[in-house]
Structure 1
Amino acid sequence: MPAATAQILPSSSEAAPTTRDRIVEAAARSFQDIGYQKTTVADIARTLKMSPANVYRFFESKKAINEAVVEQVTAEIEAMIVAIADAPKLDAPERLTRIVTALHDDCRRRFEAHPRVHEMVEAAMSESWGVCQAHLDRIGAVLARVVADGVREGVFTVADPKSAAACLQAGITRYCHPMLVGRQPNTIQPPATGDDRFPARRPAVGRLNPPDARIYSDAVPGIGEGSETTGCGPSYPSITRMSASAPPFCRARADW
């Protein structure tokens, strides 16, 4: 995977960047250099040699700027996995394997290149959950499409591809969650090798119960505050504080 995937800055284009683009780029640089918490709107304005008032013409708050940066990053990640999902001549298990590996490698490389960037992620998860949820939904849709392809290919036995993909998404969180990967960048590796990469031709997959889309609700603050075991695979430290109304997910053992 190109090292460029480790960048969090908006991609350059042939057209001259707009003022809004320049603000997002300056904010991204500051977030990666000194961290989200220490960056102020005045800092961003000073870098661009403009007044804070001018920044506020385009963004109502630092939170709004962070949302724009996060949207840029997530768009890059989504484009990356869509390209893998659309790869010709690869069966569904291979595409899923490559997607999980790419998500993990991209997350790890971003952390290694810019450790302070995870402050930005934490802020987005606590202050702008809608942006994060939209990203998770789009990732889930890609996974569901590949699982459905596997059903048509006869390599997966799944009653509901969307539900199975959501359970898979929950199960790979330890390899793709920025904070988990950031805390153990060299020790967490997805077991995406060999014939047991994914449950191809394994009837147990068809027994998955639909997980709830809110499994990521109130994420991150709960890290290290106990452990939970999901029905989607091995247990690992809890990364969620599920809301009281969110039902359990993946109750049936998939025996992955």
Structure 2
Amino acid sequence: MTAPDPTAPATPELRCRILSIAERLFREIGYRKTTVADIAAALRMSPGNVYRFFPSKKALNESVAELLLGEIEAELARIVERRDLDVAERLRAFLSALHGMSAERFTVDRRMHEMVEVAITENWEVCRRYRTQINGLLRRLVVEGMETGEFAAGDPKVAADCIQLAIVRFCHPALIAQCDGEPGPGVDEMARFILDGLRPR
């Protein structure tokens, strides 16, 4: 493979390849140990080519995080859009998928977990956007449930905020790792508890 021409257009395909290699190296040698030079070497290009897409290592890190979070968000949006399930079933599937995908992507792999811990501790912008998106998807389900009568009438924003707070143990990477094996309700039990609170009296 020859090195890309530094004067060639910065294509979306090349950007995706850079992110894919960065994610792979984060998992193989660790988030902190991976340098832009390592990523460039794996792609057989100069670090300058990487910096054409990402002005700093932090920008590259945030883009990898955004890629991983975007995969979760896309699956949750797909669940929200389903019409073969009622709202309660979709909310249950939403919470189960959020927990399962968060655990799989951010806690099983300790090297990737390191990056996620830093992202949360430093409150990266991508994390703030992700939380906002998750809240918006929850609110859509709550609004629909109130409109169909599955859920009691109320303030959908407050309800979505409460659900998001109630499930933090099941989607926050550090808490998933810390609470693994600890006594307490599972995500299915929490989903039942939340749905009981949402249903009309």
Fold shared per TM-score above 0.5:
yes
Kindly state the Cα deviation for residue 193 of structure 1 after the two structures are TM-superposed.
7.5
Distance, in Å, in 2 between the alignment partners of 1:173 and 1:102 is 14
- One-letter identity of the residue aligned with 2:117: E
Aligned residue number for residue 199 of structure 2: 201
Aligned residue number for residue 151 of structure 1: 146
List 4+ stretches of structure 1 deviating above 6 A.
Answer: none
Is 1:179 aligned to residue 179 of structure 2? no
Deviation per CA, 1:8-60, whole angstroms, max 9, x where unpaired? Answer: xxxxxxxx972211211111011111221111111111111122222112211
Cα 1:23/1:167, change in 2 over 3 Å = same
Aligned residue number for residue 190 of structure 1: 187
Distance, in Å, in 2 between the alignment partners of 1:159 and 1:69 is 38
Match for 1:55 among 28, 50, 55? 50
Taking only aligned residues, the RMSD between alpha carbons, in angstroms, comes to 2.3
Counterpart secondary structure, 2:188: coil
TM-score by length of 1: 0.67
Cα 1:56/1:128, change in 2 over 3 Å = farther
Aligned residue number for residue 161 of structure 1: 156
Cα 1:69/1:195, change in 2 over 3 Å = closer
Q: Which moved more, 1:143-152 or 1:180-189?
A: 180-189
5 Å-filtered alignment, 1:40-189, equals 40-111=35-106, 113-127=108-122, 129-187=124-182, 189=186
Identity in percent: 44
- One-letter identity of the residue aligned with 1:36: Y
The one of the two structures with greater contact order (alpha-carbon pairs below 8 A, sep at least 6) is 2
Cα 1:166/1:195, change in 2 over 3 Å = closer
Deviation per CA, 1:195-240, whole angstroms, max 9, x where unpaired? Answer: 645124255xxxxxxxxxxxxxxxxxxxxxxxxxxxxxxxxxxxxx
TM-score by length of 2: 0.83
Aligned residue number for residue 9 of structure 1: none
Kindly state the Cα deviation for residue 89 of structure 1 after the two structures are TM-superposed.
3.1
Cα 1:173/1:128, change in 2 over 3 Å = closer
- One-letter identity of the residue aligned with 1:129: W
Unaligned runs of 5+ in 2: 1-10
Kindly state the Cα deviation for residue 110 of structure 1 after the two structures are TM-superposed.
2.0
